[in-house]
Structure 1
Amino acid sequence: MRELNQATLNPPAGAAGHDEAGCTLEVKKLTFLEGVAMIVGTNIGAGVLSIAFASRKAGFMPLLFWLTLAGVFTTISMLYVAETTLRTRAHFQLSGLAKKYLGGFGAWLIFASVAVNSVGALIAYMSGSGKILSAFLGVSPETGSLIFFVPAALVLFLGLKAIGAAEKWICAGMLAMLATLIGATALSGQADLARLVDGSWIYMIPVFNVAVFCFSAQYIVPEMARGFEHDPKQLPRAIVTGMGITYLLLALVPLSVIALTGLSGLTEVATLAWGQALGEWAFYTANLFALCAMLTSYWGLGGSFLTNIFDKFRLGAESRTGTRLAVLAVVALPPFALAYSGLVGFVNALYFAGAFSGVILSILPILMLRAARRSGDHAPAWRCGWIANPLLQGAVVAIYLASAVYAIASGLGFLPAGW
């Protein structure tokens, strides 16, 4: 990581292609812990609940391999976006950055990626929360989803600072619950580590797309950059710290559940099987963790989608109540309808969202970084260094493209879907 002087560069005429004077995204200061919590909270959502089930044919070891690879590559991609934002004077979301550096087509591709990934996630959260609250309260899944929706939408409406503060406190509670559950699994006498080598490597490739989805916090990097405007060097540190914690949690949850229940005992929402195996107290603890995970991820991805809509369509100040409510309705209501339409399953929503967004976010951040280095507004407080090597960038693009091709072929029935 090489520090640069803060001398301002002169952007070439016409390079921006985006009306920086019209940028209306607001700056709300974040602390380092709030930034880390936003990364962890956004990542630890539907993905951590679905990856065990998604790997029920492949097994734990292929899953761990893909989690490692996806975690490293996604962190690199996030750092590309971080340097791009730090080279940009105005505050944009991903679609705005793409417009500035890649033009209209790149902006629409990024916006489509944000939309697909966010809608896929929010569908899963609506479906998963409904199932859990139905089991908790004896209500219908639809009613359970409505109960979940109220605090989810309220904090989303309040904005970046409320999201950061809520993520920080709930993430602390989630870590405590998870430590309790993992400890209870280890002491239960029911866990069998031999189950971790069950499965077939033939089915390993489809697991990658769900693993990619589990690291879905790329979208909130520009959001965090706004919050760290007072100390931009905190941005890459928060990204790396948050992604490291995410990786540990994503590995430990399926490890514990698979060791406890075996591949045949997995449920689509992993904490249901986990809690049932350990007893009633664990059932409630595990599924309270699941609800918190969905809630924090809902805020991260939903908040990013909301501000991307403001940025992309130049809707004026975020704080205008009527406009914010209208955009919130666009973000929150379609996923609820799709979750109960019967058209999209919990894991399928994550699988195809991960495939599509993975390709876009493997290629465009690289192009954006290169363009920002040529025509950015000023020298950044931090830059990527060796991780921007063209060979590494090529490897990132190749693996995500191969994954997308597999997703299409499996969707058409030519290759195993994996579950």
Structure 2
Amino acid sequence: MSSENISISPALAAGVRTSAPAKSLSFLEGVAMIVGTNIGAGVLSIAYASSKAGFLPLLFWLVLVGSLTTITMLYVAESTLRTRAHLQLSGLAKRYVGGIGAWLMFASVCVNSVGALTAYMTGSGKLLQSLFGISPAIGSLLFFVPAAGVLYLGLKAIGRGEKFISIGMVVMLTALVAATLLKDTTQMRNLLNGDWRFMVPVFNVVVFCFSAQYIVPEMARGFSDKPEQLPKAIIVGMAVTFVLLAAVPMSVIALSGLNNISDVATISWGQALGQWAFFSANIFALCAMLTSYWGLGGSFLTNIFDKFRLGNDEQPLRRFGVLLLVVVPPFALAYSGLVSFVNALYFAGVFSGVILSIMPMLILRGARKHGDQTPRWQCNWITHPLLQISIVLLYLASAVYAIASLLGYLPSGW
């Protein structure tokens, strides 16, 4: 999917309600929002989730799911470019699919966001406990304060925060991967171990790792003054995401083997490399959770404003009230004992994956019929019916597998 020659006709801007200058995103900030949202709890869990299947089945799913997710994100991008109003996914679904579609999309946003934010609360508590010896609940609370604080400040603060922390994450990850490759106990043959029969449940966790569809409409707000950069930012951001998602489990599995991976993989990774790497890996993990928390939490918040027509999302008291709805339930769920770290991601991925495999196609079809304008850039060949049917069947088959596994008819994947 080349991003070359992507341009938008001047007519696109006509009548568009542009964002205030403070909300404008740079290209790098847009890419960082994609990378930061994707690189969250998922990157920390996929090594453990693939501990039975192995690295090669994981790599297969990363390539396939990454490509399919990019396609559906570009469907959403074209739909937003055809729409003058800045609508979130549930708003786009209501306009172009109808009321049922809007509620399904909103439910998908809720389930995916609550599942993710719950996992971040759990994971951050474990990481801060391993770093400082404090209780997991106190660790989660320390993570919670800056995470929720930036969410309250809004889109521009999220974009800037994601940019700086994402750059830091790439630097830390490069150092850790290099140290792994130079470590004498690293065994690259570990990457060939595993059992392809366990590859299916890995799919659902990988789906969750590519969870940035939700922020495409939010990015469109930030790119309203330069809409031609939206598809480019999506493609570049997803390419960077793939490299990072492949590098972390590759390093962990090569270093520790499939039998020595904790559910938050950077803990065992850092311990195997030494004290400096232990701190670096876990700071990377916290940064990954923080950026993804901002991306998904911010999208969830604006979807609530959009769905219930609460008006301008910059009204301080109203924004604070909605923020509490977004951030408090995941914190409570994390310490309810009801969900584990990986299972929270797994079932969020199952539900949202099915909805997000179908809804962007329907939204794009409606936008092409009833949209406000025709952008010069369009999805073209990636809307081929055979490709769309393949996407839907793959996600539906995965959902059937997940239900069968939950009912005890199939072996656990991890």
What interval of TM-score do these two structures reach, taking the shorter chain for normalisation? over 0.9
Q: Quick one: percent identity of the two aligned structures?
A: 68
Q: Which moved more, 1:135-144 or 1:24-33?
A: 24-33
- Indicate the residue corresponding to 2:34 in structure 1: 39
| Alpha-carbon shift at residue 417 of structure 1 (Å) | 2.5
Q: 1:179 aligns with which of 174, 182, 201?
A: 174
Question: Which secondary structure does the structure 2 equivalent of 1:265 belong to?
Answer: coil
- Pairing of 1:259-408 with structure 2 (within 5 A): 259-408=254-403
AA aligned to 1:176 is V
Is 1:194–2:202 an aligned residue pair?
no
Q: Which amino acid aligns with 1:264?
A: N
1:205 to 200, 217, 238: 200
> Aligned-pair distance for 1:379?
1.0
Alignment match of 1:216 (pick from 208, 211, 217): 211
Name the SS of the counterpart of 2:259 in structure 1. Answer: helix
User: Contact (CA 8 Å) 1:86, 1:381: kept in 2 or not?
Assistant: no
Aligned counterparts, 1:2-13, within 5 A: 5=9
What letter is aligned with 2:101?
G
Is the Cα–Cα contact under 8 Å of residues 25 and 92 in structure 1 kept in the other structure? no
Q: Which amino acid aligns with 2:83?
A: T
Letter in 2 for 1:192: Q
| Residue 55 of structure 1: aligned partner | 50
CA distance in 2, matches of 1:324, 1:25: 17
Q: Secondary structure at the match of 1:264?
A: coil
Paired residue type of 2:222: G
Deviation at 1:152, TM superposition (A): 0.2
Residues 3/288 of structure 1: CA separation in 2 closer, same or farther (3 Å cut): closer
Determine if contact 2:172/2:281 at 8 Å carries over to the other structure: yes
Q: 1:346 to 1:70 in 2, by over 3 A?
A: same
Are 1:6 and 1:378, in contact at CA under 8 Å, matched by a contact in 2? Answer: no
> Shift in Å at residue 415 of structure 1?
1.4
In the other structure, the counterpart of 2:160 is 165
Instruction: Measure how far apart 1:5 and its partner are.
Output: 4.8
Deviations 1:153-212 (A, max 9, x none): 010000000000000000010001000000100111111011111111110000000000
Shift of 1:317: 1.3
CA distance in structure 2 between the aligned counterparts of 1:207 and 1:404, rounded to whole angstroms: 12
Q: Deviations over 1:377-405 (max 9, x none)?
A: 11124211111111111111111111111
Asked if the contact 1:41/1:171 (under 8 Å) is kept, the reply is yes
Conserved 8 A contact 2:18-2:225: no
- Residues 390 and 3 (structure 1 numbering): CA distance in 2 closer, same or farther, change over 3 Å? farther
- Give the alignment partner of residue 254 of structure 1, picking from 219, 239, 249: 249
- What are the superposed Cα offsets for residues 330-349 of structure 1, whole Å, 9 maximum, x if unpaired? 00010011111110000000
Partner of 1:70: 65
State the 1:4 CA deviation: 6.6
CA contact (8 A) 1:25 1:311 kept: no
Give 1:133's aligned residue. 128
Instruction: Tell whether the 8 Å contact from 1:25 to 1:317 is kept in structure 2 after alignment.
Output: no
* Cα RMSD after superposing both structures: 1.8
> For the residues of structure 1 that align with 2:6 and 2:283, how far apart are their CA atoms?
43
Aligned equivalent of 1:151 = 146
Moved more, 199-208 or 380-389: 380-389
CA distance in 2, matches of 1:242, 1:3: 18
TM-score calculated relative to the size of structure 2: 0.96
Provide the rounded CA distance (Å) in 1 between the counterparts of 2:363 and 2:159: 26
Aligned residue for 1:12? none
Determine the C-alpha separation between the residues in 1 that align with 2:202 and 2:33: 25
Which whole-Å CA distance do the structure 2 matches of 1:233 and 1:6 have between them? Answer: 10
Once superposed, which parts of structure 1, at least 4 consecutive aligned residues long, lie more than 6 Å away? 23-27
Asked whether the 8 Å contact 1:26–1:318 carries over to 2, the reply is: no
- For residue 85 of structure 1, what is the aligned residue in structure 2? 80
In structure 2, what is the equivalent of residue 13 of structure 1?
Answer: none
How far apart, CA to CA, are the structure 1 residues paired with 2:359 and 2:340?
A: 28
In structure 2, stretches of 5+ residues that fail to align are none
CA deviation map 1:196-230 (0-9, x unaligned): 11111110000000000000000000000011111
Q: Are the counterparts in 2 of residues 92 and 311 from structure 1 also a CA contact under 8 Å?
A: yes
Q: Indicate the SS of the match to 1:244.
A: helix
Shift in alpha-carbon separation, 1:231–1:370, aligned structure 2, 3 A:
same
